[in-house]
Amino acid sequence: MIRLFLLLPLVLAQYTRTIQVGLMFSKDVSTTMRSIGYRTSASAVLVARDRIRSEHLLDSYDFNFTVKFDECSESQAAGKAVELITTDNVDVIVGPTCNRAGVAVAGLAAFYNIPVFQWGLTTTADIGNFTRYPTTVTLSLDTHSMALAVRQVLQTFDWEEFVFIYSNDGDEEKCAAMKDDMEKMSVENADITLAYMYQIQTVTLDSLNKALKEIAKRGRIVVTCFAGGKGFKKAFVASTLLAGMATNEYVYIFADPQSRGFYVDETEGGMHYSWEDTDGSLVTGLSSEDIRAAYGRILYICDNMGEPATPTEQFSNFTSQVIRRMSEQPFNCVQDCANSTYKVAATYSGQLFDAFYSYAVALNTSMAMDPTTTNLKNGSLILSNIAMTFTGVGGGSVTLDDTGSRVVQVYMYAMNTSMLPYLAAALLVNGTNVTYTPYYTNESVLWKGGSKPLSKPVCGFTGLECPPDFVKDYLVYVIIAAIVVTAAMFAGCAGLLYTVHMKKKEMERQDLLWQVAFIELQQVQSKSKAEASLHSFASGPSTSTKLTIESRSETTNFIFYYHQQDIVAAMKHDVILFFDQEQKAEFRQMRNFDNDNLNKFIGLCLDGPQLLSLWRFCSRGSLADVISKSSMQMDSFFMFSLIRDISNGLAFIHNSFLKHHGHLTSRCCLIDDRWQIKISGYGLKSVRTFDNPKKDDLLWTSPEHLRSESRERSPEGDIYSFGIICAEILTRSSAFDLENRKEKPDVIIYQVKKGGHNPMRPSLETGETVEINPALLHLVRDMWTERPSERPTIEQVRNHLNGMRDGRKANLMDHVFNMLETYASTLEEEVSDRTKELVEEKKKSDVLLYRMLPKMVAEKLKLGQAVEPETFEQVTIFFSDVVQFTTLASKCTPLQVVTLLNDLYTVFDSIIEQNDVYKVETIGDGYLCVSGLPHRNGNEHIRHIARMALGFLSSLQYFRVQHLPAERINLRIGINCGSVVAGVVGLTMPRYCLFGDAVNTASRMESNGKPGQIHVTAEANKMLTLVVGGFRTESRGEVIIKGKGVMETFWLLGEEAGISVSAQAPKMKPEARAPSERSISPIIEKQSEKDDKESMRGLYTEFKGQNNVNV
């Protein structure tokens, strides 16, 4: 006996009492070491204690552990339990872990009324008898629950009888308990019969073969129980092969409450398949693969050794802690646990965790009900609060009922087609209720032959009980009767079925013609404006009135597709419908329409984003499109031909099953490339009923239909619509000539709907350029008369039109070609004149663009190319502004300020043009120029800037402010040399900007300069005097420059050799003049000169300082 005491924490004040916990283990029993051994499971109580404290259960209580080893002995367990209760005065016992030891301790606990929590291999159902053992809680799967799980499997597969074979060889407890509970289960369930039970005393191949021979006479559903770790199960499977019983007639159910199914634990961790088991070495002469194939007829029902079916990271962490913490107090198992055998946690260690944790929860609940109680040993009180559900250490749910029995999860494993184990089902055993949850979708996957075996063969177990075979006994009569009946049925039904089938097939084929799959449609991509313009320019002038499909873009009502290499126009319908046979018949007939003046109906697209009706595309668009093109010339013959085509198409519709069009407008009258009218948009009554027509579509609707709330249409309404279309053709204008009327469509529709003695109708003023037959005008007026009954029918209209032909049979295409040739000759002259005007305008725009951006930059932008930023290693930057400009501007109106700056900058611009200088920006009175970019000019950039600056100063002596003649303009000028980066900024009004420290320095030179002086940096001075030469400078001395510190700067005095730049500057005339092309925008009113300069030059990152420094 070993007694281990838990060291109290350093802070003892938090615990007011210590709970004495007795632990009972098996330590040196080799057969149980892997599953419940002390060295690999005891520290699970420490992990449970951590959780108890983290959840603040029993906060004021500490735990003291006393360990006893019963070695699964009934007598040892009884004696150790008495010591724990009487000598060690424990409050609870956790253990024992074996059946007989468990029964002995449970009886003592009931006598002493002390709670006992058992786990591990305590599988006997006796311990779960709450009447006999009212203070015992079991966390393990008992054999009674296993028997109930077997019962549920039998009932699930409709097996009414089974045989049970078992052996106590190697384990005297497990299978003996299983045998008792199997008998009890059979007695309690009338629908399940235990047909035969066979016990094998010593497991050998001979004894197994003998047992199988007896079983074959009495059953086909065989339930077995064998000790684990002995190779007995593999030997049994091998024996079925040797006995010829590994067939599809048999099913073997291995029911084992202490197993992982087809897997076998290894001593030092890890697992292997059962057919690879070498323990016992009973099997010889059979290959592992043969035995493995025989395993395909086995269903394995087990508890997975108390572990979750799918290992979790939480459980893996737990098992690692169990091994690691065995070295902690109170166990201090270091040397004794050092063997590699003890490096894997015991398989049932999780149940020890759940047992100790559930005790703490029950005790905590009991203390909460009666905080004054001091008797922690009251097993009856604790058991009264034992019903609970919590998350176990494996991550699954742990449920205890009010008798202290666990609601257990049992797993059924089978072999798949690849001969590998898989989880086939789970069984939840709650008392006597069992819930079966299959994980397969088809039961046939469980059986080798694909069909479920019977619990009793049709011919019995011996094959001698086959029922009489009527067919065999009266075979001749059966054959004759079958032939007669078959012939009669075939003769009677074959013809009917064939007729119905063929008719159905034909209807399906016809339906497939008008049903167009959306995947067969490829949307036409319209050309962009730029692409269309380039194509138009490149192709030159054209006289064609034909519309290309690319020029057609998607509209509100239409979208264009390619279908089977043809172009179709798809009309959109915002409705989802299911069509009946009558409607489908309508679509089939419409698909078969064939008339020269009827546009082909392709079908419907039902599986797209929205319902589409598909029609053949007509290249010249609708009649409304042709009429709207004012350049299109139409003579009387052309008009008559169009009207005649519409009448022919409308006559076909009126004589068909459709009876009327219902939505006839000039937009429905399409024109193909032969200038033939094709009426479109007919039929589809079930679809068009839900369309919402636009207001202007109602301009063609007859007054009686406008007044009616019904959407039903009539042939008379079509005649009225035809009359409106005729008026459009004759007057070459839109319906009611909307473009030239003050009334909106709503007003016109209201007047038509109102009716009266003089109802509103379109004008028939055809003009003097076209000669129209007066009879045609009278016919049109008859077609739109107010009363529907007074309108002519379509046949009458056609007869009148035929009477107006005057025997003419000229082809309309020839007539159109003659018209187009005349039109083309005038169009070519017009295009030539327009092209010349375009070239001149392009030149003007290029000149203006080159003034705004460098030419090379502008050319790239015109070509759509990106302008990459460019670094210029050496350029000269020029800054200037007008001295006291704010004061001067305050004396002027805004318009006068604009005029002043425009005059001044015009002078400066003329000086710039005499030098290789690029003007970057003017911001108010500020002026920014640069030389050396975008065209590099070597070192000449300093010379050009210097001459320009001297020229600016010289020009001021001639410059006068027009409205203030007494005022004089003076400049401050700053110059610097250095490197900059130049690039185009922005997409809208792009600007060519400079960036770099050299720009900032030039700005500082200007802001720290003096009126009438040119302030240059040392770098610029070096370029002026040493590099290019020819200029006179004078040192200003050291000046404090904002952001730069102390710098030596210079004044540019002039150019040597007596060259006077100012002599080239033009004199300003005193008279007023309008701003030139280089004028700038109006400036913003400034509060002060310095603040205004800072705000206007923010783009260039501190171009000027806030304060001038005078030296």
Per-residue pLDDT of 685-713, as tens digits, reads: 888 888 888 888 899 999 999 998 888 89
- Mean pLDDT score, 391-417: 89
pLDDT category at 752 given cuts 50, 70, 90 is very high
State the average pLDDT for the chain: 83
Say if CB 540 and CB 553 are below 8 A apart: no
- Among 782, 807, 832, identify where a domain stops: 807
User: Would residue 627 count as lying in a domain?
Assistant: yes
Among 910, 946, 953, which Cα is nearest to 931's? 946
User: Would residue 737 count as lying in a domain?
Assistant: yes
Query: Do residue 509 and residue 573 come from a single domain?
Result: no
Q: At what angle do helices 44-54 and 313-324 cross, to 10 degrees?
A: 120
- Would you state the pLDDT for residue 1056? 84
List pLDDT tens digits, range 530-586: 343 333 333 333 334 455 555 566 788 889 999 888 899 999 988 888 888 888 888
Question: How, if at all, do strands 388-391 and 251-256 pair?
Answer: unpaired
- Would you state the pLDDT for residue 527? 55
- Would you state the pLDDT for residue 475? 77
Query: Do residue 772 and residue 884 come from a single domain?
Result: no
Query: Do residue 177 and residue 274 come from a single domain?
Result: yes
224, β-bridge pairs: 165, 254
- Mean pLDDT score, 145-155: 93
Q: Is the pLDDT of residue 1102 over 50?
A: no
Among 806, 810, 818, which Cα is nearest to 775's? 806
Residue scoring higher pLDDT (1103 or 70): 70
Classify residue 585 by burial, with Cβ atoms within 10 Å: 0-12, 13-18, 19+: middle
List pLDDT tens digits, range 226-283: 987 778 888 899 899 988 898 989 999 999 888 888 888 776 667 788 888 776 567 7
- Mean pLDDT score, 999-1005: 91
631: its two tokens? 């350049």
Query: Do residue 497 and residue 419 come from a single domain?
Result: no
Q: Is the pLDDT of residue 58 over 80?
A: yes
Residue spans of alpha helices (H) in 128-246: 143-156, 174-188, 205-216, 232-242
Query: Do residue 504 and residue 626 come from a single domain?
Result: no
- Would you state the pLDDT for residue 565? 85
User: Would residue 88 count as lying in a domain?
Assistant: yes
Range scoring the smallest mean pLDDT among 26-35, 541-550, 667-676: 541-550
User: Would residue 459 count as lying in a domain?
Assistant: no
- Mean pLDDT score, 90-95: 95
pLDDT category at 1110 given cuts 50, 70, 90 is very low
Q: Could you please report the per-residue DSSP string of 1067-1081?
A: PPPSS-----TT--P
d(CA 480, CA 439): 49
Query: Do residue 567 and residue 707 come from a single domain?
Result: yes
pLDDT category at 659 given cuts 50, 70, 90 is very high
- Would you state the pLDDT for residue 548? 54
Residue scoring higher pLDDT (766 or 334): 334
User: Would residue 543 count as lying in a domain?
Assistant: no
- Domain limits for position 680: 520-524+551-807
- Mean pLDDT score, 1084-1104: 35
Query: Do residue 137 and residue 151 come from a single domain?
Result: no
Q: Is the pLDDT of residue 809 over 70?
A: no
Query: Do residue 371 and residue 416 come from a single domain?
Result: no
C-alpha dist (Å) from residue 325 to 29, 322, 600: 22, 5, 87
User: Would residue 858 count as lying in a domain?
Assistant: no
282: its two tokens? 């009973």
Query: Do residue 782 and residue 714 come from a single domain?
Result: yes
- Would you state the pLDDT for residue 804? 83
Q: Is the pLDDT of residue 1091 over 50?
A: no
Domain CATH for 49: 3.40.50.2300
d(CA 386, CA 399): 10
Q: Is the pLDDT of residue 221 over 90?
A: yes
pLDDT category at 810 given cuts 50, 70, 90 is low
Say if CB 654 and CB 718 are below 8 A apart: yes
Query: Do residue 762 and residue 621 come from a single domain?
Result: yes
Among 274, 278, 280, which Cα is nearest to 294's? 274
Domain count, the chain: 5
Q: Is the pLDDT of residue 675 over 60?
A: yes
d(CA 925, CA 1092): 10
- Mean pLDDT score, 603-622: 90
Cite the beta strand spans of 964-1086 per DSSP E: 971-985, 991-995, 1014-1017, 1031-1041, 1045-1055
CB atoms near residue 53 (< 10 Å): 15
Torsion of CA 69, 74, 76, 81, to 10 degrees: 80
d(CA 363, CA 377): 10
pLDDT category at 1072 given cuts 50, 70, 90 is very low
- Mean pLDDT score, 429-444: 91
Query: Do residue 886 and residue 1000 come from a single domain?
Result: yes
- Would you state the pLDDT for residue 470? 65
Q: What percent of the chain has pLDDT over 70?
A: 88
Range scoring the smallest mean pLDDT among 414-428, 524-538, 727-741, 946-960: 524-538
Q: Is the pLDDT of residue 854 over 80?
A: no
First and final C-alpha spacing in the chain: 104
- Would you state the pLDDT for residue 922? 83
List pLDDT tens digits, range 926-966: 889 999 988 888 899 999 999 999 999 999 888 888 888 88
1034, β-bridge pairs: 1051
Query: Do residue 257 and residue 119 come from a single domain?
Result: no
User: Would residue 609 count as lying in a domain?
Assistant: yes
User: Would residue 820 count as lying in a domain?
Assistant: no
Task: Tell me, rounded to whole angstroms, the distance of Cα 89 from its chain centroid.
Answer: 66
C-alpha dist (Å) from residue 940 to 662, 827, 936: 82, 55, 9
Say if CB 629 and CB 541 are below 8 A apart: no
Classified as helix, coil or strand, 28 is coil
Range scoring the smallest mean pLDDT among 479-483, 588-592, 967-971, 1094-1098: 1094-1098
Domain CATH for 656: 1.10.510.10
